[in-house]
Amino acid sequence: MSKRILAISILAIASFFVACNDDADMKPNMDQVQSTLPKSVPIVSVDAFVAPAEPVITQDQAHKYVKASAALVELGVSWSKKIEEAKEGEKVQILDAYNVARDQLCARIGLAGIAEYNWITEVALPNPKNIPFFEAAGLKK
């Protein structure tokens, strides 16, 4: 079910950008957009992440990490063109929205947002004790 929600969310975001590019004459001034857009509010709550004392993860965390890695790559591909093509005033807003999307994606998969994902990447992944968990989850070095 979470895959469906994620897919629908990504499609909705993509269709928003496609719809915005259809008619350049109908675009409002950037000042108007900034004053009328609502603040980004996360759809799901993102738990605070506190790094454990030992850099050892569970099999469940390894599976979630592998799922999040694949999904983050797809998310990055879908957002990268928009970020590159954005005007200077829009880049900050798009990058902020992209960061929220990354955090939301990780939370939907079951991690404590992008903070836990980054901790696993930087601390747990290099730990030799975690190799069997990552290999069982399908991640190969």
- Domain edges within the chain: 57-136
Q: What is the pLDDT of residues 28-84, one digit of tens each?
A: 444 444 445 445 555 888 889 999 999 999 999 999 999 999 999 999 998 888 888
Q: Is the dihedral of CA 79, 83, 89, 95 positive or negative?
A: positive
Q: Which of 47, 26, 39 is nearest to 119 (CA)?
A: 47
| CA 71/CA 93 separation, integer angstroms | 22
Q: Which of 104, 117, 101, 97 is nearest to 49 (CA)?
A: 117
Enter the tokens of residue 115.
């903070």
Q: What is the pLDDT of residues 89-125, one digit of tens each?
A: 888 888 888 999 999 999 999 999 999 999 999 999 9
Q: Is the pTM of this model over 0.75?
A: no
75: CB partners within 8 A, 6+ apart: 10, 98, 101, 102, 105
